[in-house]
Amino acid sequence: MLTELAALYSEHVALLAGSVFVLGLTIGSFLNVVIYRLPIMLEREWRLQANELLPAPVAEPALAGAELPTHFSLSVPRSACPTCRTPIAAWHNIPLVSWLLLRGRCAACKAPISWRYPGVELATGMLSAAAAWHFGFGIPLGCALLVTWSLVALTGIDVDHQLLPDDITLPLLWAGLLAAVIFGAAAGQSIPVAPADAILGAAAGYLSLWTVYHLFRLVTGKEGMGYGDFKLFAALGAWLGWRLLPLVILLAAATGALIGILMIVARGRDRAAPMPFGPYLAAAGWLAMMYGNGIVAGYLRLSGLQH
């Protein structure tokens, strides 16, 4: 049965992309939970650790104006409306469809539901479908989906909290190294890469940004980025190999600079205000995973360095 299904998907890429799009919508719904709850869970853990050392207890974080439940995880309690706290019924929690049918409002209190929830679902579905169309059925697609879903979650959390949790970056890093050892092919494959390329990529990714961070701090006395950025870049290096890291950092830096300038001009954003770098690393890493080898080869041909 599995062999026949694999053969069917291999012959009909559009069917594969459509199936993965639906799967991506479902995963995107779960990623919304991760983006919202994981930082609260981490803050609660940090406060509990602080209370063991500090003489005065630190107050628990609030949950949308309500007291945080004793048991709070990615699965408990049930998802609820942030305004009226009414639990969301299963038929009101169908990815993208329910939001459209409810016209973006809570079924109980009619309070607006942020467009961000269906936005994350739709983005996850579309990125997953694009990966399926690009890689086709097989191990590279499974690896690409894991990387895509992790990057979506990290982007949402970094935008909200300027935080790239170890709970995601470190498993992503180790998964990239293990995938290279188990499935890694010859150098030049998009994902997963050969073991040597993955190890060098992880080391180069971490040490490069670590070095920039400390040089910037020595010169300016300020911290230009966080350690989460180092770990994310190392994870991208483990999945993509060291050869694509220059492309990733160039794309991330150029995009970050452009968007930062536009925000200053359009919104009068304070230049001294910190701006998360993780989303730009994530976007650049995803583009490099999909098209990196083609971009590099095209540049080498245009520059005359390769015939």
| Residue pLDDT, tens place only, 8-33 | 666 688 899 999 999 999 999 999 99
Distances (CA, A) of 103 to 58, 88, 99, 116: 40, 15, 6, 14
Please give the pLDDT value at position 307: 60
The reported pLDDT for the residue numbered 189 is 62
**What pLDDT does 186 receive?**
55
Distance (Å, whole) CA 112 – CA 104: 6
**How sure is the predictor about 306, in pLDDT bands with cuts at 50, 70 and 90?**
low
pTM of the model as a whole: 0.90
pLDDT at 47 over 90: no
CB 187 within 8 A of CB 180: no
pLDDT digits (tens, 9 = 90+) for 239-257: 999 999 999 999 999 888 8
Higher model confidence: residue 181 or residue 221? 181
Name the residue among 118, 136, 124 with its Cα closest to residue 24: 124
CA 222 to each of CA 8, 19, 161, 219: distance values in angstroms, whole numbers, following the listed order = 55, 47, 19, 8
Among the listed residues 206, 25, 39, the one whose alpha carbon sits nearest the alpha carbon of residue 129: 25
Per-residue pLDDT, averaged over 264-274, amounts to 65
What is d(CA 152, CA 128) in angstroms, rounded to the nearest whole number? 11
What tens digit of pLDDT does each residue of 118-139 get?
A: 999 999 999 999 999 999 998 9
> CA 102 → CA 96, 98, 141, 204, 258, distances in Å?
10, 6, 34, 48, 37
pLDDT at 297: 80
Q: Which two tokens stand for residue 143?
A: 């690896």
Two tokens at 187?
A: 């150098």
In the chain, where the domains are located: 1-137, 138-307
Average pLDDT, the chain: 87
Q: 225 by DSSP, 3-state: which?
A: coil
Nearest by Cα to 250 from 287, 275, 222, 219: 287
What integer is the mean pLDDT of 196-209? 96
Tell me what the mean pLDDT of segment 214-237 comes to: 90
User: What's the confidence (pLDDT) of residue 273?
Assistant: 64
Computed from CA positions of residues 291, 297, 300, 301, in that sequence, does the dihedral angle turn out positive or negative? Answer: negative
Nearest in space to 255 (alpha carbons), one of 217, 295, 220, 284: 284
- pLDDT of 291 over the 70 cut: yes
Peptide bond preceding 87: is omega within 30 degrees of 0, i.e. cis? Answer: no
Ramachandran angles phi, psi of 253, nearest 5°: -65, -45
> What pLDDT score does 132 carry?
96
Give the range with max mean pLDDT: 73-77, 84-88, 148-152. 148-152
Question: So what's the pLDDT on residue 271?
Answer: 60
